[in-house]
Amino acid sequence: MKRIILCVIFLLMSSCSFADVEEFRYFSLNVPEGWTAEESGDVVSVNADDKSGSLVITSGNPNGETITSLALKFSREMNGTEPLSDDEGGYSFEFNNGISQAVIAGDEDFYMLIVGTGFVNNAEALGEILDSLEMK
């Protein structure tokens, strides 16, 4: 009987930390306890309630722009570093003196720009949110 009670307590404690799956226009992702998410147009913001970290995901049609030109445009708008290309055709750059990091990927039909802030204090939570992202 003690084992059953301990198992139930363990399961209840574990379920408290589970994230809620939230659905957005282009994707779904898990939003952990202590974080909130909201969608406005093509932008989804996921923020720690204590303001220690955030993800901003912008997605949509590139309107004829290439990923290269979008990466340069967004980097300049954010006063970021020169975008670095990856092996899959995407780009990454930093801004806010390296506090914020951005990654952009896509093609002529669809792009996704993901901006993360607060990786020092929230690397695990931000990683779990990103790992849970599923396109529709």
Query: What's the rounded Cα separation, in Å, for the pair 121 and 134?
Result: 24
Q: How many CA atoms lie within 13 A of 115 on its CB side?
A: 19
pLDDT at 18: 52
Angle at 127 between CA 126 and CA 129, to 5 degrees: 65
Query: What's the rounded Cα separation, in Å, for the pair 19 and 22?
Result: 9
Reported in sequence order, the residue ranges of 49-124 that DSSP labels E, i.e. its strands, are 54-60, 84-85, 91-95, 100-106, 111-117
Residue extents of the structural domains in the chain: 19-135
pLDDT at 12: 38
pLDDT at 45: 97
Interacting residues of 11 by C-beta distance below 8 A, sequence separation 6+: none
The per-residue b/e assignment along 87-118, b for 16 or more CB within 10 angstroms, e otherwise, is: eeebbbbbbeeeebbbbbbbeeeebbbbbbbb
Average confidence (pLDDT) per 10 residues, the chain, 136 residues: 37 49 95 94 95 94 93 96 94 92 93 91 87 93
Structure tokens at 126: 């931000």
pLDDT at 59: 95
pLDDT at 116: 94
pLDDT at 5: 36
Give me the residue label for tokens 């307590």. 9
User: In the CATH hierarchy, which fold is given to the domain comprising 19-135?
Assistant: Protein Transport Mog1p; Chain A (3.40.1000)
pLDDT at 61: 92
pLDDT at 6: 32
pLDDT at 9: 38
Q: What is the pLDDT of residues 19-36, one digit of tens each?
A: 789 999 999 999 999 999
In angstroms, what CA-CA distances link 112 with 30, 55, 133? 17, 12, 12
